[in-house]
Chain A
Amino acid sequence: MNDAYTCQDCIDLLLDYVDGELAHELRARLEAHLSGCQPCEDFLKTYSATTPVCRRVLAREMPESVSSRLHQFLRDEIGKHPAGR
């Protein structure tokens, strides 16, 4: 029986591999494939890079106008129910 992983097998397991949650034997088989497959090595590198890159792009700052409205809203609402509520 051929236990070697295909590219498809490896890519399907990438999430658990990157998370460090693959069982030892599965991890060994995946890494055996990676060591002989440059496209999969490159795929893994780009898959791993995707999250930090996207996180930087998708980071959002609260606009100052929204901040001002938030604080005014809270003052107005809390003023209706002061301490001792």
Chain B
Amino acid sequence: MTEAPVTTMRLDAPAETRNGARVVEHPEDSELLRRAQRGDMAAFEALVARHQNRVFGMAARMLRSDDDAAEVVQEAFLAAYKHLPEFRGESAFGSWVYRIAANYALMRLRHRRVTAQVEEPEGSPTFNERGSLIDDVADWSRDAEAQTLDAELRKAIDDAAQRLPEEYRQVFLLRDVEGLSYEEIAQAVGDSVPAIKSRLHRARLALRAAIDRFYAERAS
């Protein structure tokens, strides 16, 4: 596999929270980074340990495969190590490795030859000829946001996310789970911000509909 571009994917430095997704920043990273750039392997391994979970989580969600995600994580951290001398710290180390891994994951997804005809996700609301909502709408928001998520609800959401067409799933994961900006996602997937927003909206509608069905079936 050809090496993914390490420095060409420009992403903004992460804020403390991005779209509700918490970005963990470690003040000690800069010290570990300095030591790693001087050849301290233990310092580099400490950096890896701090950021591996987040990087793995993103890759596993994107690729739907722990094995593929493990490979992407290995490739990303190895690439980061090789490019340590050039890393100037314009962004946090964790964000930099994250971008590298996201590039590798996206390359793999393109390589899987996603079908040219993009499917549409299910779950769009239905309206009458006057544009009024026909569906019964129940407000389950408080139940779903409760502390402990029901195992069956987790499965319903997991299944619905798996069923999302790939292009919609990618955008949902990158924006709503990983917290990337629209511009970052547009650059990463090679599409326009309006197109990204449209797919995100459809993905949210599909997932919302899946949760809706879960509560409707439970109530019946």
A residues contacting B by CB (< 8 A) are: 6-9, 11-12, 14-16, 37, 39-43, 45-63, 66-67, 69-71, 73-75, 77-78, 81-85
A42 to chain B: which residues have CB within 8 Å?
137-139
A51 to chain B: which residues have CB within 8 Å?
19-20, 176, 204
Lowest 3 CB-CB distances: which A-B pairs, in order?
A83-B39, A6-B131, A49-B141
A63 to chain B: which residues have CB within 8 Å?
66
A74-B39 contact given A46-B212, A57-B158, CB 8 Å threshold: no
* Distance to closest chain B CB from A16 (angstroms): 8
Q: Could you give 6 example pairs across A and B, Cβ below 8 Å?
A: A11-B205, A52-B145, A54-B177, A61-B53, A71-B49, A78-B41
Are B127 and A6 in contact, with the CB atoms below 8 A? yes
A60-B60 contact given A42-B138, A50-B208, A74-B74, CB 8 Å threshold: yes
B residues contacting A by CB (< 8 A) are: 19-21, 38-39, 41, 44-45, 48-49, 52-53, 56-57, 60-61, 66, 69-70, 73-74, 77-78, 81-82, 125, 127, 130-133, 135-141, 144-145, 149, 153-154, 157-158, 161, 172-173, 176-177, 197, 200-201, 204-205, 207-208, 211-212
Closest to B39 in A: A83
Are B20 and A52 in contact, with the CB atoms below 8 A? yes
Q: How far is the CA of A73 from the CA of B74 in the complex (A)?
A: 7
Q: How far is the CA of A46 from the CA of B141 in the complex (A)?
A: 5
A60-B145 contact given A6-B132, A11-B125, A15-B197, CB 8 Å threshold: no
Closest to A13 in B: B201
Contact of B149 among A6, A46, A53 (CB under 8 A): A53
Q: How far is the CA of A82 from the CA of B77 in the complex (A)?
A: 15
Are B133 and A57 in contact, with the CB atoms below 8 A? no
Contact of B140 among A6, A16, A46, A85 (CB under 8 A): A46
Q: How far is the CA of A55 from the CA of B73 in the complex (A)?
A: 21
Q: How far is the CA of A58 from the CA of B177 in the complex (A)?
A: 8
